[in-house]
Structures are given as C-alpha cells and as structure tokens.
Structure 1
C-alpha cells in the first residue's frame, strides 16, 4: 500500500449559494490538489459532508472526482457508519474498481464496547474486496478505539492495513507504533500532530488543511518522512495558526472559508452546519494574505 504514504486529503463537497453541489468547484479542487503535490484523494469522508448528501448526489460526486482525476492520483473512498450490516451490504453491492482502499470510521452514536468495535471491523473486513483504513475519531464517534483493540484488529484481519488516528494523542500514537505489526501503517487524522506522528514512525496524514495549503503541507510531510526535521518544523510552525482557524468553528466550515479565500469554491455548508462567522472569515483572509 505505497499509495497511502505521504499526504492524502479529505475533500470537501463544494456547494453553490442555493446549496446544490458545485461540480465545477469540485473539479477545481481536485486539480488544485494534483497540481500541488498531494499524494492521494479521499472521497466522501466526514469533511465531504456525506451525511447531508442524497444517494444520487454521492454518486455524482464520486463520478465527477473519478473523471477529473483521470487516474492521476490514487483514490480512497469513505464507507463507514453505525449500522454494520448496512456497511457490509454497501461493500458487497458497490463498484469499487476505481479505488485503492476503503476508509471506514469506527461506529458513532451507538457507543459500542471495544469488543463491539472489533466485531464490527471483523464483519467489514470479511465483506471488503479492498484494503481498509480504520478511522478512529473519538471526538465524533464518542468512543476511542484503544491501541490494544487496533493491534488486535491489525493482527487478525490482514486486509485492514492502516489506521487514520485522530484522537489527537501522541502517546496513543506511540503505543500503536510500538506494538503494531511491521506492515501496518499509522496515518495521522489530526493536522496539528501530523508531523510529530510522522517523525515518530507514522507514514503520513489524511489532512483537512492540506487541501487549502497542499504544496507546503505535502512538502512538510515529505521532509518528515526523510528525517529533515529542521525543514519540516519550519513549515509546521508556518501553518499552525491556519489549523487552529479552520477547526475553530468546526469542520468543514473552516476549510471552506479558506477555499473561498483561495477562489477554489464557496464557503457554503449544509444544515445543521453553518458557514464560518464573519470574524473567522476575516482571520482566515488575513492569514492567507500574509502567508
């Protein structure tokens, strides 16, 4: 799974003022990533607002990205949820031939035990024709997938090849790296600790800020992978404030505010999310002007 080394980005779904999907903006976004050094694209992750897209819209978003990408970068598709059997059925019935891997979030809202999480991913593993990236994001799911559970899963299901770790806990990351199988990959799901994670032995990041600052963010990760700490840290400290800003009022409102400033797409999100406030947009504008 060399495709997963480096910087992936969790693409937003651009919306027009009337909240319809902005497919031209989506094409611009894809090309912006390709032109600026991103290594792979993640489609319909949390940042893409799939919870508020219709089934038809999801298919159109996927088709648009696949066509615009035209085989230039590897693609990862988000297939996850809190209904295990529905995820199994989706994996069995969906054409996944354009993707290199599945990103599958730990079940949210239901708050399963660690054994429930293990059994969920066992079912997902058995159903998936593609390698799987487990996604741990306890701030959204309500339950942390403990390192012991991740290690158990990684040892038992060989098509679960990586974890997108977004607990924001560098000690948890180090426990994973210490005890994981040699070929299991640790990917940051938290932009602020992406570089520390890579320097600790991780393979990269699935980023949000990366789609707004793709050239520098991907360069930072490459420096980190090569052990060029001074150069990597210089970029990390340069982009730190922007990471705070884009998550200040939630994701993806913040990154869409930055993408608006960059003339990639509008700032619009769908309810129950709301657009970034005027004050936050001004902070992001000022950051971009001085970057």
Structure 2
C-alpha cells in the first residue's frame, strides 16, 4: 500500500517556455512540508502532453531529487505507444521513482485485450509498481473492472488504478473484483470521500497543489474513523474542487497558483489563459477560501 492517501498531481512551472526548476523545487518542498502523502510529476496536470522526452525526464529527476525519499514519487510514464511507455518507464526506474502512472493508450482505442497486452509488455521490460490511469473522457477508452481484475491477477506490477471515470458504481465494482490489496485512487477530487467509504485508498489530486494539508487531512481523518471531520473537509473543499474544473485542467489550478504568487502563469499551447468570466469566478472562490 505504498501509494495511498493524498498524492498531488503536480503542475509543472514554466519560465520562457522551459521548466522553471527553482519554482518546481519550491512547490515540491511546500507539498512535503505541508503533509502530502505522495507526488505525481508528469501527469495531465503537469502538461506532460506538451513536454519533450528530455523535459519529461528532467521533471521526474527534479522531483525524485527534491523528495529525497520523504514521500513516494509516482512518475507519469504513459503513452499510446507501448515502446515509448517502456522507454519512459525505464527512465523513471533509473531515476529512482517509486512507481509509474500509466494513462491507458489514447487515440488508438485498443480493445480490452490490447490494454492487458500493453501493460504486460511494459512489466516484462521494466518490472516496477504501476498504477493504471483510467480517464475515458480524455482517452476515449474505459478500462472495465473485469480488465483491471485480469491485470491484477496476471501482472503483479499493476498494483492499482487512478479511477477518473466519474462513475462511482464502476469504482465499487473494481474494488469488488480486485479485492482489498488493489489500490484504487480517486482521479477526481470531488469523489474522494465516497470512494474512501467503498474501500478506496486515496486520491491523485489537482486541488492539493493549493491545499495539500487539507486533502491529506481528509484522507487521514477517514483512516482514523473521524467521519465528521472527513465529511466537514469534503464540503469545505467542494467549491474549490469544482473551481479547478471551470476550464480544462490544469488551466484553473495554474491560474490559482499564479494569483497566489506561487508561480508564473505559463501555459503551453493549445492551452490558453482562462476566459475573463471564469477567472472572475475562480477569484471569488479562492477569496472565499482565504487563499487570496
């Protein structure tokens, strides 16, 4: 159960269209100091889709180095090209990451059998813990509970799933089919508490870029059976969870961090700054939460 509790899907700060290493390190350090349970560089929130392979490797290396073993690092290493996923996974292992997060192959739209073959191939070449990232809204592919159960049974390296289908019934079926030793993490901040109640282990969170202490506390409160505290934090964070998706992730979270003075607002095309009316709503939510 290495990957549990609140793990942050880290933003990647840029300056002059290059990784801003100083601010990236500062952001990682702030996360650790404020009690986050794990770090996820090079995911969707980190804009991995517009990173070169060298930048991807640089971000993982910086994160592992800054974490210094204090919390686990789950490095994004997914691709719709199995050979590319193997290359990125190989680097993540060599860099010292504790595990890798793999988005399911997008655009190709493989069959469920193809998904299993994809992960089997990666595990054969680079045996290390892997979390499947199921996000049908971005990939056009939904990994079924039965498929995850087959992966769990045949690929020991696949230790869990980041479930971002938004379907709580499907998440329940994954836990039912895969059992308690399979790590099911929420891929959406607004379902953390419901998923924990079903036997989920935590969340890979966007919002924790802003409030790592609060998201970690929610997970810890549930683990210690303090249901009133967990429920209170769920409702306290709910408006900000919605605000993080006023536009495509990571536009709102990076805008929030910029408004808070934590980084420069630098997005890579085709992502663009927020529409004025949405930014105004975001400012209201941040102010109401005491972040501005």
Q: Flag whether TM exceeds 0.5 (same fold).
A: yes
Matching of residue 220 in structure 1 with residue 218 in structure 2: yes
Distance apart, 1:83 and its partner CA: 0.9
Q: Which runs of 4 or more aligned residues in structure 1 lie more than 4 Å from their structure 2 counterparts after TM superposition?
A: 92-95
Aligned counterpart, 2:40: 42
Aligned counterpart, 1:183: 181
Distance apart, 1:279 and its partner CA: 2.5
Q: Residues of 2 paired with 1:91 and 1:210: CA distance?
A: 25
> Does the residue aligned with 1:238 lie in a helix, a strand or coil?
helix
Moved more, 135-144 or 257-266: 257-266
Structure 1 unmatched runs, 5+: none
Distance apart, 1:97 and its partner CA: 4.7
Q: Residues of 1 paired with 2:65 and 2:140: CA distance?
A: 36
Aligned counterpart, 1:157: 155
Matching of residue 91 in structure 1 with residue 76 in structure 2: no
Matching of residue 65 in structure 1 with residue 60 in structure 2: no
Distance 1:258 1:79, change over 3 A: same
Distance apart, 1:86 and its partner CA: 2.5
Describe how 1:1-291 pairs up with structure 2 within 5 A: 2-16=1-15, 18-92=16-90, 95-291=93-289
> Does the residue aligned with 1:234 lie in a helix, a strand or coil?
helix
Distance 1:279 1:55, change over 3 A: same
Distance 1:224 1:153, change over 3 A: same
State the superposition RMSD in angstroms: 1.6
Does the aligned pair in 1 maintain the 2:112–2:147 contact within 8 Å? yes
Distance 1:284 1:179, change over 3 A: same
> Does the residue aligned with 1:133 lie in a helix, a strand or coil?
strand
For these two proteins, the number of residue pairs brought into alignment is: 289
Q: Residues of 2 paired with 1:5 and 1:95: CA distance?
A: 20
Structure 2 unmatched runs, 5+: none
Distance apart, 1:205 and its partner CA: 0.6
Does the aligned pair in 2 maintain the 1:3–1:39 contact within 8 Å? no
